[in-house]
Chains A and B, each alone.
Chain A
């Protein structure tokens, strides 16, 4: 039973049909002591059904600490959005989601998938240059709520 209404599934399927390269979502999760991990899995499971360019790769946060550390993931549920470069190599978009991507966060996740999956940036040239000028490690955290 899908969480999404049939009309929403159709809309998403249409949006995802524009993707030109595959997107893999690394989903860091744990069984115990994570209230929203199961809900996150349920939400993420909707996506591969809507596009063959989207895959979910579940990572056990407890057993695969090194992998989590490699992506600087220190809590769950967490989703890391991975794309592919022109040569087919995995490319970390460095876009992450902490907490269940429900409500508005689901829309953000869909936008991130489309961005990484080939739509590219919607920023204009001057903003792109501004961003390109950053040469030191920079972290941006955006706090949101589902409603």
Chain B
């Protein structure tokens, strides 16, 4: 998604190495995706559903 649009930045975060970030974003399972600090997606989704949830708001 970041590759497709210069407004989007995507970061893969290794949760065990950064427990402070994992806590801040309430990561209780992986993969967990956080969009703009607010939208939370738990688990892996097919592309259609993922994009819908990530950009839905």
Contacts and interface: CB of A to CB of B under 8 A. Distances in A.
Interface of A: 35-36, 72, 75, 93-102, 105, 108, 115-116, 121, 123-124, 127-128, 130-146
Contacts, number: 139
Contacts of A134: 5, 7-8, 55
B7 A144 contact: no
B35 to A, nearest CB: 5
Q: What's the dominant secondary structure at chain A's contact region?
A: mixed
Contacts of B12: 95-98, 101, 105, 108, 142, 144
Contact of B15 (A96, A123, A124, A144): A144
24 contacts: A36-B17, A94-B6, A94-B9, A96-B9, A96-B10, A97-B14, A98-B12, A123-B51, A124-B47, A128-B4, A131-B51, A139-B10, A139-B11, A140-B1, A141-B13, A141-B34, A142-B10, A143-B15, A143-B22, A143-B32, A144-B13, A144-B15, A145-B15, A145-B16
